[in-house]
Amino acid sequence: MTDALIIGGGSGMGLALARTLLAEQLHVTIAGRSADRLAAARAALEPSAAGRIDTVRADIGREEDVAGLFAHTGQVEHVVVTAADVTGAYGRSTDVSASAARNVLDVKLLGAWLVGKYAAGRVTGSLTYTSGINAYRPNGSNTIVAAANGALASLASGLALELAPVRVNVVSPGWVDTPVWDRLGEDTGMDKRTAFAELAERLPARRVGTPEDIAQAFLSVLRNGFVTGTVLHVDGGHRLV
């Protein structure tokens, strides 16, 4: 029995959640596509881990990988999906290729649905997806990512009925300082520090988020047995500005 499967747990928010759960002596499996990323995550987690870590290579855009992932883990109490690949997906829609857009949907939406499909009979506690502020505050240069994120709310509602009493929810982060921003900087030429400072000034919380902020949100959703079919916004008040 695996206590928690974190798909995308090799970096960012998923890695922060893995660290928190491992400190509680739980058995945590992290999954992602890159063996190198998983090995680096394991090396980072192991020194402070009181629990057991497993890593599995899987691309949740591929049904056979999702099936293999659950075959590996067996029964799982909680699943959290943080996986996303937004390479080439930012910019005006006229500048985004259909293949980049399809890739976003394949991972973020279809991959999420595949996890829900294979969760039936295997997940015993909860399934939590990660959407994002751009679903609620699109800015004209993130339309396909916003659409995929927005659709996760509907997916979670449907699955909350299908998989009940397993609880299915979404955590929607605001801007959080994770490696995704470094890749976005390389992709678009955006300067992360300047963008973060400008946003922090406007946000009611007066700062951008940390991976640990989101890990705490995942934990609260995992542990509150009366939360299902909902979206928890953890965005420093970004929807208000």
Ligand X SMILES: NC(=O)c1ccc[n+]([C@@H]2O[C@H](COP(=O)([O-])OP(=O)(O)OC[C@H]3O[C@@H](n4cnc5c(N)ncnc54)[C@H](OP(=O)(O)O)[C@@H]3O)[C@@H](O)[C@H]2O)c1
Contact residues for ligand X (CB under 6 A)? 7-8, 10-14, 31-34, 37, 58-61, 82-85, 107, 111, 130, 132-133, 173, 175-176, 178-180
Residues 6+ apart with CB under 8 A from 135: 146, 147, 149, 150, 152, 153, 172
Could you tell me the two tokens for 116? 């829900």
- Provide, rounded to whole angstroms, the least separation between the CB of residue 165 and ligand X: 26
Nearer to ligand X, 25 or 220 (CB): 220
Stated as kind and residue range, the H or E segment containing 158 is: helix 143-162
Q: Which is nearer to ligand X, 26 or 41 (CB)?
A: 41
> Shortest Cβ distance from residue 194 to ligand X (Å)?
15
Tell me how far apart the alpha carbons of residues 148 and 88 are, in angstroms, rounded to a whole number.
Answer: 15
Angle in degrees, CA 62, 16, 69, rounded to 5: 25
Cβ 77 to ligand X, closest distance in Å?
20
Whichever of 82 and 169 has its CB closer to ligand X, that residue is 82
Quote the least distance from Cβ 49 to ligand X, whole Å.
Answer: 18
Burial (Cβ within 10 Å: 0-12, 13-18, ≥19) of residue 230: middle
Measured from each CB, the residue nearest to ligand X is 12
Question: Is the distance from CB of 203 to CB of 174 less than 8 angstroms?
Answer: yes
* CB nearer to ligand X: pick between 53 and 225: 53
Q: Which is nearer to ligand X, 201 or 226 (CB)?
A: 201
Q: How far is the CB of 233 from ligand X (least distance, A)?
A: 11
